[in-house]
Copies of this chain bind each other. A is one copy, B any other.
């Protein structure tokens, strides 16, 4: 069994939870931590001896560039694994060069897998060319720790045909609509009030527009569609319904946006009423029609009593319709956001990489 070395970029919410889970792994599954960084701070040493993440200094004078980090890791006295807990596009863009240098990647980031198709191709070509030496695992890039990526990869790898993917892919959107238009018809306030409550409770991004523009869901759908075999160019290459009204696109900050959002309560109320008149509820749904090659994200009226209509809290729900599974889909449901469950996907991926490399 050969020695394995670990570099961790990003020690925010997910990163801290990951480091905590890592510290509780049995030593046989725990690579030696030799590099930790957070924004402009880095901790490492030239002798590749194990470091303690809590010793990260308050500032670092000489920072390794991504290319220097790649050289540092590929020169380690054993195989190296990079855990990227950021959502930094520059780091994502460097995955192919890390992989070509024999460094495996584990990440919850969506950026590398949902940006331009060339980056996707470069990443998986580098994995293939490495002959099992450099691996990529990214379970938490969709649905956090829920077994979404692993399941669709298993379906495809064993020869099933995924025909349709459908569901609620954002914990924030799930919470907003489950509160605004619950299946029991109650409803807990106006749309702008519910968005404000969610923001105050930390259930949205600091700027709620980053959830309401639908791009988070579009990125997840891009990843799943690509695994299912579609050559999706990127998250802006298919229809995505933004819940940021055109008139508010120029709001100068999130406070001004939240103020003005009230003017659109009537429009959201009309959606809710229209759906109710048809015995349905309004939900923010993403779907991939693999057969027709179509991806879309936006509001849909969903039948009462269906799993999507019955969701509560901030649960995600992902349905895979496949040839083998027939009329009833394979369904995965549960919390799709939060530091602990996101880190769980990262830690479980790391274990799989260690088991393959050691």
Which of A's residues lie within 8 Å of B, judged by CB?
1, 21, 24-25, 29, 131-132, 145-147, 150-151, 154-155, 157-160, 305, 307, 310, 312-313, 315, 324-335, 338, 340-341, 343-344, 347-348, 351, 355-356, 358
Contacts and interface: CB of A to CB of B under 8 A. Distances in A.
A305 B309 CA distance: 11
A1 B344 contact: no
A331 B328 contact: no
Contacts of A324: 145, 338, 340-341, 344
A160 B21 CA distance: 9
B331 A332 contact: yes
B358 A132 contact: yes
Number of copies: 2
B328 A313 contact: yes
Given A132-B1, A155-B344, A351-B157, A315 B328 contact: yes
Contacts of A1: 131-132
A86 B132 CA distance: 31
Contact of A347 (B158, B343, B351): B158
A338 B329 CA distance: 14
Given A310-B310, A331-B332, 15 more contacts: A1-B131, A1-B132, A145-B324, A147-B147, A147-B151, A150-B150, A154-B348, A154-B351, A158-B344, A307-B333, A325-B334, A328-B334, A328-B335, A330-B333, A332-B333
Contacts of A343: 158
A334 B341 contact: no
Contacts of A358: 132
Contact of A150 (B24, B147, B160, B325): B147
A323 B347 CA distance: 16
Contacts of A331: 331-334
A146 B330 contact: yes
Contacts of A145: 154, 324
A154 B325 CA distance: 24
A212 B87 CA distance: 51
A312 B332 contact: no
A313 B21 CA distance: 39
A167 B157 CA distance: 28
A307 B111 CA distance: 34
A326 B132 CA distance: 37
